[in-house]
Structure 1
Amino acid sequence: MLPLVPGRTCGGCVECCRAIPLSLPELSKPTGTLCAYCVDGAGCSVHEIRPQACRVWFCLWRVVELPDDWRPDLSGVIVRPDGIEDGRITLHVERVTDFLARADLFATVGQWIAEDIEVAFSLPGPAGHLPVRAVATDWLRPAIETGDAAAFLERLMALLDSLSRHPFEPDGIETRYAVGGSAPV
């Protein structure tokens, strides 16, 4: 597990509780469905006894010094930690917001690319389907290298449009709730 930014909490953000699929003996939920133990806008109702997978997974907003408005429920983007130790970052766009046009997104993605970090974007499919993902490093690099934020946004939106037309694969996960031996009410 990566170390967390001191003093930073999820607060009312529950985006990972919706986006991430789980297939555990005590908890199984399809991709894109809010966990039944989660109270939208408040968090986990079984926080003290939640599964280990839920205890160790945090978005990069909890791990890296990113501005507060990068929090997934505010930005619409979950910066996924999987792959970070291998030089890969995926920005999972839960919903298209004005955040995608922000100068600090352009600057941060540019910095990651300059540091030879592979940058990818993903989009969710319908509930119960895996997201689609594409590495965007080389596609975004020309706009980054020329400092052209408008071209960056144009390329990013074209990428997201292309991803939205991609076929989504079912995740095959059956819903099952039994954390602590009981189903949610």
Structure 2
Amino acid sequence: MSLPLLPGRECGGCVECCRVIPLDLPELAKPTGELCAYCVDGAGCRVHAIRPQTCRTWFCLWRVIELSDEWRPDRSGIVVRPDGIEDGVITLFVVRRTEMLASPELFGVVAGWLAEGIEVALSVPGPVGSYPARAVVTDWLRPAIEAGDPAAFAERVIRSLDRLAQHDWQADGITARYAVEG
């Protein structure tokens, strides 16, 4: 799925997708959570001009929907995944815990999504080479949002992340392979 990108919105030094997304392509395979060997942390892809098609078309929703610069994944610690968007679900993949989790911004954005009928899922990474844990948490977050209580919302987010972190991790079975010529 390729979504239209916001004009002027660039990844910059953010490389979170190059770390968290698993790839198992003929020309590139990397386990979940392993930084792609073609990626320069904080700078981007060194084979950008000839990168695989998957890398050309997959973008986090920060590049697609109106979110502040604070939502850029390397700043927020959250990759807003497009998977499920066609079914009305937005997944917040929390790659690391930051102040964003207790911010009025997160509360306001999630409240807006719920008001529009969008479901919200939370996801956390497991050990390198394992699939992340994910759960739809709309009904769990709704009472705090309806009460207009950002502190209760943040507490519910943290409790959800703690619970997800106890997941029984499943290996992705991907062995790293780098064959892009550049």
TM-score range, shorter chain: over 0.9
State the Cα deviation string for residues 8-54 of structure 1 (Å, max 9, x = none): 10000000000000000000000000000000000000000000000
**Aligned amino acid, residue 31 of structure 2:** P
**Aligned counterparts of 2:98 and 2:24: Cα–Cα separation in 1:** 30
- Number of residue pairs the alignment of both structures matches: 181
**Aligned amino acid, residue 61 of structure 2:** L
Q: Any unmatched runs of 5+ in structure 1?
A: none
After the TM superposition, which residues 80-119 of structure 1 pair with which residues of structure 2 at under 5 Å, given as runs? 80-119=81-120
| Counterpart residue number, 2:17 | 16
- 2:66 aligns to what SS in structure 1? coil
| Counterpart residue number, 1:173 | 174
| Counterpart residue number, 1:55 | 56
- 1:17 aligns to what SS in structure 2? helix
**Aligned counterparts of 1:153 and 1:8: Cα–Cα separation in 2:** 28
Q: Any unmatched runs of 5+ in structure 2?
A: none
Query: TM-score if structure 2 supplies the norm length?
Result: 0.98
| Counterpart residue number, 1:154 | 155
**Aligned counterparts of 2:61 and 2:3: Cα–Cα separation in 1:** 9
State the Cα deviation string for residues 115-148 of structure 1 (Å, max 9, x = none): 1111000000000000000100000000011101
Is residue 152 of structure 2 the alignment partner of residue 145 of structure 1? no
Deviation at 1:85, TM superposition (A): 1.8
- 1:133 aligns to what SS in structure 2? strand
Is residue 51 of structure 2 the alignment partner of residue 26 of structure 1? no
**Aligned amino acid, residue 68 of structure 2:** P
State the Cα deviation string for residues 98-127 of structure 1 (Å, max 9, x = none): 110110100100111111111000000000
**Aligned counterparts of 1:113 and 1:58: Cα–Cα separation in 2:** 22
| Counterpart residue number, 1:45 | 46
- 1:11 aligns to what SS in structure 2? coil
**Aligned counterparts of 1:95 and 1:168: Cα–Cα separation in 2:** 17
**Aligned counterparts of 1:78 and 1:122: Cα–Cα separation in 2:** 9
**Aligned counterparts of 1:3 and 1:86: Cα–Cα separation in 2:** 17
- 2:142 aligns to what SS in structure 1? helix
| Counterpart residue number, 1:72 | 73
| Counterpart residue number, 2:8 | 7
Is residue 123 of structure 2 the alignment partner of residue 122 of structure 1? yes
**Aligned counterparts of 1:14 and 1:150: Cα–Cα separation in 2:** 30
Query: TM-score if structure 1 supplies the norm length?
Result: 0.96
